[in-house]
Amino acid sequence: MEEGKEQKQAKYRRIAVGATVGGVLLILFLLVVLIVQFVQMGVLNSESREYDESIEAYHQKIENEEGILDEYLTGDALYWRAVMQGWKKQ
């Protein structure tokens, strides 16, 4: 009887050790997944910030160039450019 009891206890110990090892491995796996997700979020946030800065720079360029475009559309800038190139008014 004692041997059967000891075998059962040994079996239960092996099950407990296996479950503990499995639980620890599961926690480590989930921790690694969590860390990878945080790193990916950081990279995406950094890229998003860079894209926002680029968009803002392009908006600024567009605003600056619209004034020059207006000058060319009115003809004043074209006239003065032609005069600078040596054209004379008839």
pTM: 0.55
d(C-alpha 50, C-alpha 35), whole Å: 23
Question: ∠ at Cα 59 (53, 62), nearest 5°?
Answer: 145
Instruction: Please give the structure tokens belonging to residue 4.
Output: 């059967």
Buried b (16+ CB within 10 A) or exposed e, 27-40: eeeeeeeeeeeeee
Q: What is the pLDDT of residues 12-38, one digit of tens each?
A: 999 999 999 999 999 999 999 999 999
Residue 78 has pLDDT above 70, yes or no: yes
**Terminal C-alpha separation, the chain:** 125
